[in-house]
Structure 1
Amino acid sequence: MIPKHAQSLPKAAKKVWLMYDMIALLVLLAIGLITNIFLKFNGYNPLTIGVNVLFGFILLLIIGNAILIPYRYRFHKYLLQQEAISIYKGFFLRKSETIPLNRIQNVDTVQGPILKIYHLQNVSIVTAAHAFKIATINEDVAQYLRDQLITAARQAREVDTDD
């Protein structure tokens, strides 16, 4: 269950996800066209049929993912608490990840060219065992969250080592 006071991603995240899907779609179509040219568009060849069925299946997955962006957006949230940060995501299989602040080893922000267009960043949180990501949040919020996590992780470690 996602808490009501959890932070939502900015609405621009939906546009970024759609752009990612459109790029994947264009790459898939280009690869499919090149493959069919290489196989000489032979519709009777079992290899051509198998490759085209595979491309069709992947095409349906990409289109389905693009259609479900508004639904998926509703379930991507994060919540910074006193002793941990929680990340909620997933739309069919929902997942919640809670990272204790005293376990955080590194916090980075990443911004690719598409995210830069919309002034968004990804925040990567690394512990000894795993890496977590809060994707597509505003630049200023990402920097603030990064600073808060670093400060809170330092304080949590100081409290743990005082005993």
Structure 2
Amino acid sequence: MLPDNAQKLPKSVKIVWLIHTSIAFVLILAVGLVINSFFLNHWQNILATIIQVIFVLVLLCLLAYALLIPYYYRFHQYVINPHSVSIYKGFFWRQSQTIPLNRIQNVDTVQGPILNIFKLQKLSIVTAANAFTINAIDEKTALQLRDQLIQAARQAREVDTDD
């Protein structure tokens, strides 16, 4: 499914994903502990047990996701062709998205605080119907891709309107 010329994301994206997962883990654990202490002090019933089981399951899912980050990284790639951009992602349910260059309306880069620390940016490609993202690529490549895609989209539109 993945073409040979597909570009991989920088390896530092694995650390970014791990940081995001760790933050979510800590926040959910804190909320779970607060809710658990409320239920243990006020209610002793099946509802408290169900909520505890749900929080444990969510935490286990986050832990499993963190352990699968290296595997997930292998399948998150992109390809820029003369006529389209293809984005491949997913590890259990693999997904490929192809965006024709003549349909691109806008290309944005986004950089949050964690991405900034690792000098990465998220590239967002917007069409009339959808927005597609390449999760994290280094700043220099993101700016080059943004300019390349904008120029290619302009040229594709000019070719389409010359007919």
> What is the CA deviation profile of residues 50-104 of structure 1, one whole-angstrom value per residue up to 9, with x for unaligned ones?
1111101111110010000000000000000000000000001110000000000
Name the stretch that deviates more: 39-48 or 75-84: 39-48
SS of 1:3 mapped into structure 2: coil
1:72-151 to 2 correspondence within 5 Å?
A: 72-151=72-151
> What is the CA deviation profile of residues 6-50 of structure 1, one whole-angstrom value per residue up to 9, with x for unaligned ones?
100000000000000000000011100110122135784211101
SS of 2:5 mapped into structure 1: coil
Residues in 1 aligned to 2:36 and 2:159: alpha-carbon distance in whole angstroms: 63
Residues in 2 aligned to 1:51 and 1:140: alpha-carbon distance in whole angstroms: 46
Residues in 2 aligned to 1:49 and 1:124: alpha-carbon distance in whole angstroms: 42
TM-score, with length taken from structure 1: 0.97
SS of 2:40 mapped into structure 1: coil
Residue identity matched to 1:90:
G
Residues in 2 aligned to 1:161 and 1:41: alpha-carbon distance in whole angstroms: 70
Q: Is the 8 A contact 1:102 1:156 kept in 2?
A: yes
Residue identity matched to 1:58:
V
SS of 1:82 mapped into structure 2: coil
Q: Is the 8 A contact 1:41 1:48 kept in 2?
A: no
Structure 1 unaligned residues grouped into runs of 5+: none
Query: Hey, what does 1:51 align to over in structure 2?
Result: 51
TM-score, with length taken from structure 2: 0.97
Residues in 1 aligned to 2:132 and 2:116: alpha-carbon distance in whole angstroms: 21
Query: Hey, what does 1:153 align to over in structure 2?
Result: 153
Name the stretch that deviates more: 92-101 or 45-54: 45-54
1:28-39 to 2 correspondence within 5 Å?
A: 28-39=28-39
Structure 2 unaligned residues grouped into runs of 5+: none
Residue identity matched to 1:30:
A
Query: After the TM superposition, which segments of 4 or more aligned residues of structure 1 sit over 6 Å from their partners?
Result: none
Over aligned residue pairs, what C-alpha RMSD do you find? 1.1
